[in-house]
Amino acid sequence: MYAIIESGGKQYKVSSGDTVKVDKLSSEPGVTVTIEKVLLVVDGTRTVVGTPYITGAAVKAEVMGTEKAQKVLVYKKRARRVYEKIRGHRQQFTSVKITEVSFGG
């Protein structure tokens, strides 16, 4: 059984036991979170698609920790002018381990 969930405006294909990196959640490590924005559930014999979400479906996950991605450098320059700007950005994300995919209907 697997599901397509939405977290932070992005979609992830998850099944029980997977570890997924999602946009930063405001939860402490070790806490169990419930993701109710389930878009699709497939359980071997049938496929259920939500409009846009499936009522009664949920994915439970355990928060493993928060990390930062590699730094991305943004470089701006104007031609024939003395203008240069360099900015860096490190996106924060949370690693979650999927413990259960439940579907009520």
Q: pLDDT band at residue 48, thresholds of 50, 70 and 90?
A: very high
SS (H, E, C) the chain: CEEEEEECCEEEEEECCCEEEEECCCCCCCCEEEECCEEEEECCCCEEECCCCCCCEEEEEEEEEEEECCCEEEEEECCCCCCEEEEEECCEEEEEEEEEEEECC
d(CA 61, CA 54): 18
pTM for the predicted model, two decimal places = 0.85
pLDDT, tens only, 73-93: 999 999 999 999 999 999 999
